[in-house]
Amino acid sequence: MQENKPISHLVAGSIIAGILVIYTLAINFMGQGQNQTLGYLSYGILIGGLVVFIYLYGKSQNNQVGFGGLFSYGFKATAFLTIIMIAFSIIVYYAYPEFKEKMLEVSRQRMEEDGKATDAQIDSTISMISRNYLLFAVLGTMIGMAILGAIGSLIGAAITKKNPVNPFNQQPS
């Protein structure tokens, strides 16, 4: 029973966050930032990354960790990558103000195409979003990452092989 050194949840969260940052910057600089399909792919990157790291964590522990330990590892990685992604959102807000303007313009176009709101309501909504954009970006990142991280952690913990050790069945040394 060889025990491998597990990958820290901080390293796992950092790697996943790094991939998400690079992916987000790439799609935005290619002019595809408002493409919803590519946006959904980032969810797959997050969930898939968590599943892979949870699996690797379980394997490094010789699968002697239960569902709770695996889920905990995944959610701790999620918490750390959420902090990184919030910092990234704040940096992008100040470094690239044109991203905010693009987002507001696309939101305006979608509301106009929907046709359910008057021009005054659209103007009021866009104005409110513009004033509170950073708050919405941070809260959206926090809530979205928490939900997706919980899903990824549940999936990863569910599919990873488990052979937990019962401490009451061990021989005293």
Domain boundaries, the chain: 9-164
Q: What is the predicted pLDDT for the residue at 1?
A: 46
Would you put residue 90 in left (φ > 0), alpha (ψ -120 to 50) or beta?
alpha
pLDDT tens digit at each of 173 positions of the chain: 455 788 899 999 999 999 999 998 898 888 887 777 888 899 999 999 999 999 999 999 888 889 999 999 999 999 999 999 999 999 988 998 888 888 888 888 888 888 787 888 888 888 998 899 999 999 999 999 999 999 999 999 999 998 877 767 666 65
Backbone φ, ψ for residue 39 (5° rounding): -65, -40
Q: What is the predicted pLDDT for the residue at 151?
A: 96
Q: What is the predicted pLDDT for the residue at 76?
A: 96
Q: What is the predicted pLDDT for the residue at 130?
A: 87
Match 């949840």 to its residue by tokens.
9
On the 0-12 / 13-18 / 19+ scale of CB atoms within 10 A, 50 is: buried
